[in-house]
Structure 1
Amino acid sequence: MPLYALTGGIAAGKSTVAARLSELGAHVISADELVRFVQRPGSDTLAAIERRFGFGVITEDGELDRAALGRLVFDDGHARRDLEAIVHPAIGIEFHSRVAAIRETDPDAVIIYDIPLLVETNRMHEFDGSIVLVCPPEIRHARLMTHRGLSSDDAWARITAQATEDQRIAVADWTVDTSGTLEQTLERTDRLWDALRNRG
């Protein structure tokens, strides 16, 4: 019942690789989805965020205004740490609950945790191995502008706010080059899946 971490820089193709691994038989848990789940309307986590950051981060529909919250915490280390102290424990509880549920129903499961900030949060020791997607910053920068509509400066700000490519590669048990075409990335992901199954 191995549990592997999947990580990579922003716009490195984590969603593509995670979706392919799911198609091949892996049980994929997304850190981003867990964040959205624990911050859903009516949750204790969202209430705590509102108490700390004010009603301005809540939409008229009672949902979290992620853009407004992002503007408050992006350049404010103290505010960001406050947010992490609220959100991370809730994510941890939900994550372990989902892992336990998967293992109960599928004892032979290969579980992949799609976690963008693996290196930044220094959580490598929690997993049986780390999969790192490798894609040069210049290519990810172009993807952010083309596919997400970011300005050049905003794209670089997102990239440089994360760990470097070398820092991620240093913790990798496997790497997948995602700098090429979609077909190449899928082929490389298929080979990764074979390696994971053989290891298990």
Structure 2
Amino acid sequence: MKIIGLTGGIASGKSTVSSVLKELGALIIDADKVAREIVLPGSPAWNEIVQEFGQAILQPDQNINRKELAGIIFRDQAARNKLNRITHPRIMDEIRKRINAGKRGNNYLMIVVDAPLLIELGMTAMVDEVWLTALPKDIQIMRLMEREGLPEWEAEKRIGAQMPLEEKKKFAHRIIDTSGLVQDTINQVYDIWNQITRHEKEQNT
């Protein structure tokens, strides 16, 4: 059973790749979902975040307003560092638990850790291969503007706050080009899946 780390910049098509892998039968561990779960109202991480950033980041139901918080941390590196110190260790611990549970279950051909910060957090040691979704920056900016309704300057700033694509490529075992049509991305995922599963079956026979 291979453990795959799937990563890529914001608006780089990572969710499409993850969805296809799930349909093919992989166990998907979504780091963004884990991140949301560990900050549910009343949790230790929630308490620390509210103490650090104040009640203004809360919605009426006491859930954290993610857009409000994102606006703060993308403008302020120190604020981003504070949030990361609160959330990242908890996210990594939970992902490890889910990987181990998936291995014990042994019901999957592949476990995929879908994590935007896989490389930045040193999570590459937790996986067998790193897959990177990649596309030219101008297309990435356009897609982010359309998806989030952002002005160009803010889209550029959010992308600029992440590790540069060329740096990420140094860690990648496989690069999936997501610059074209969605079907082109899907076809690449099918090809990689078939290569890996065929190899796994040959090793087990």
TM-score per shorter chain, which class?
over 0.9
Distance 1:188 1:141, change over 3 A: same
The 3-state SS of whatever aligns with 1:64 is coil
State percent identity of aligned pairs.
34
1:46-98 residue CA offsets vs partner (Å, 9 max, x unmatched): 11111121111112211001122223322322222221111112212221221
For 1:100, the equivalent position in structure 2 comes to: 100
Offset of residue 107 of structure 1: 5.7
For 1:168, the equivalent position in structure 2 comes to: 168
For 2:116, the equivalent position in structure 1 comes to: 116
Offset of residue 108 of structure 1: 5.1
For 1:183, the equivalent position in structure 2 comes to: 183
For 1:48, the equivalent position in structure 2 comes to: 48
Distance 1:197 1:164, change over 3 A: same
Summarize the alignment of residues 1-200 of structure 1 with structure 2, pairs less than 5 Å apart. 1-106=1-106, 109-200=109-200
TM-score of the superposed pair, with normalisation by structure 2: 0.90
Q: Distance in 1 between matches of 2:121 and 2:59?
A: 29
Q: Distance in 1 between matches of 2:71 and 2:143?
A: 22
TM-score of the superposed pair, with normalisation by structure 1: 0.93
Contact in 2 for aligned 1:102/1:109 (Cα 8 Å): no
Q: Which runs of 4+ in 1 moved over 6 A?
A: none
Q: Distance in 2 between matches of 1:107 and 1:20?
A: 18
1:108-147 residue CA offsets vs partner (Å, 9 max, x unmatched): 5411111112233333222111001121111111111223
Contact in 1 for aligned 2:102/2:108 (Cα 8 Å): no
Contact in 2 for aligned 1:132/1:176 (Cα 8 Å): yes
Q: Distance in 2 between matches of 1:24 and 1:164?
A: 30
CA root-mean-square deviation: 1.6
Once the two structures are overlaid, the 10-residue window that deviates more, 52-61 or 171-180, is 52-61
Contact in 2 for aligned 1:136/1:165 (Cα 8 Å): no
Q: Distance in 2 between matches of 1:57 and 1:100?
A: 34
Q: Distance in 1 between matches of 2:51 and 2:199?
A: 47
The 3-state SS of whatever aligns with 1:6 is strand
Q: Distance in 1 between matches of 2:108 and 2:147?
A: 37
1:141-169 residue CA offsets vs partner (Å, 9 max, x unmatched): 11112232111111111111112221111
User: How many residues are paired up?
Assistant: 200
The 3-state SS of whatever aligns with 1:40 is coil
Distance 1:157 1:199, change over 3 A: farther
Paired AA for residue 31 in structure 2: A
Paired AA for residue 48 in structure 1: E
